[in-house]
Amino acid sequence: MKDILLVTPPFIPVSKDSVAGIEQISYTLSKTLHEQGYNLSVIAREDSEVYGELIVGGYKNIFYDDDSEQDYFFAAMYHTSSVLRNFIKKNNVDVVIDRCSGVSLRVSEEESGPRVISCLDMGSKYYMDSAFFNAIKQQLSNRDDQFVAVSKHIAHEYMNQLGINEEKMNIIYNGIITENFPFCSQPEDYLLFLGRISKGKAPHLAIKAAKESRHKIIVAGGNIPGDSNSQYEDRQYFEENIKSLLDENVQWHGPANLEQKVELMKNAKAVLFTSQYNEALALVPLEAMACGTPVIAFNKPGPNETIIDGKTGYLVDDYSEMLLSIDNIGEIKRVNCRNHVVNNFDYKKMGEKYSDLIEHTLQTEEIILLH
């Protein structure tokens, strides 16, 4: 039985209800690796719910002032590094899967530790400091660590920005537990926005598009109005851009756990994904389409690798095209949305590809040891 260590960020709990993509995928990955028979340990925040053994790498009761947020970030990451370092010194680990911005890659290199599969879940600016990465690049060239990008454009970005060798780059799309997102053939007459309440996610555009197309819309995500700032809700943005738009046709839902999210998604006529970012690989469109709900999104990296324009939703270039797409949403067959996700983005397919990469990494290590 192979011993696998999964390392996740220390800030948000890993669970099926996590509001953050990395933590959601870490939960899903722990499930599929456990089901495949790996002896799995997971470094995560203390209140996480994971498959395998939970190793505490972060604490829920650590608070910080606004002006000390950066200090908190580095202190928390340093603690995770220490937990990882101690674990690989005292336990057998065949492969480390890192979903923590390259922390495991650095620690394992310093300790001459196990091979690392380093997952690239966000843009390269959020990864290991580029200067530090360049400084240890020569040492890394002597190891058989592997990199996994969650989309094609993320793979190209890391190869271009950090010079990662193409031979070590793999693309494995994030997968979702499709059985958790039941198909609905007869939706209700409302649109849905689900995501962070921030300028970059642009829920104000979704609300305005719903109003202009004479649809009701439910806005879910972020925190309940009145809560303090967080990375999931920008209070100033809410006050200046969202609050005045709320009326009888705009329902504010607030945060949604898995069960609530499923109910909102499966009964929606369409999901408006108005993000202004180049997403690594957004989960909301996948989850919505798994329920049979088409997605209208701006034609940007991320959504354009998951949505089939004209078949499972629409990829639009601007706001006016979004309005036209809302009018044409009835042309999308909901069963096509469901089949697309089941056939291409189910978590078991993701798990099989990770398993293949784990076995490849271990075989390469055995060849090196034999020589």
Same fold, 3-175+346-370 and 178-344: yes
Cα 284 to Cα 77, 104, 196, 308: the distances in Å are 27, 28, 11, 15
Is 0.75 topped by the overall pTM?
A: yes
Cα 194 to Cα 92, 165, 166, 257, 324: the distances in Å are 41, 36, 35, 11, 21
Count Cβ atoms below 10 Å from residue 8 Cβ, excluding itself: 32
Amino acid at 195: G
Per-residue pLDDT of the chain (371 residues; tens, 9 = 90+): 899 999 999 999 999 888 778 999 999 999 999 999 999 999 999 999 999 999 999 998 876 665 666 777 888 899 999 999 999 999 999 999 999 999 999 999 999 999 999 999 998 888 887 777 888 888 888 888 999 999 999 999 999 988 898 999 999 999 999 999 999 999 999 999 999 888 999 999 999 999 999 999 999 986 544 444 444 457 888 888 998 999 999 999 988 888 999 999 999 999 999 999 899 998 999 999 999 999 999 999 999 999 999 999 999 999 999 999 999 999 999 999 999 999 999 999 999 999 999 999 998 655 444 43
Q: Are strands 250-254 and 313-316 parallel, antiparallel or unpaired?
A: unpaired
Q: Is the dihedral of CA 283, 286, 292, 294 positive or negative?
A: positive
Contacts of 352 (CB under 8 A, 6+ apart): none
Contacts of 255 (CB under 8 A, 6+ apart): 19, 220, 221, 222, 223, 224
What does the angle CA 363 – CA 174 – CA 106 come to, to the nearest 5 degrees? 55
SS3 142: coil
In which residue are the tokens 């193409």 written? 166
Domain 178-344 matching CATH 3.40.50.150: the answer reads: no
Burial class (CB in 10 A: 0-12, 13-18, 19+), 167: exposed
Give the start-to-end residue ranges of the domains of the chain: 3-175+346-370, 178-344
Kindly report the CATH number that applies to the domain delimited by 3-175+346-370: 3.40.50.2000
Q: Distance (Å, rounded) from C-alpha 26 to C-alpha 21?
A: 8
SS3 99: coil
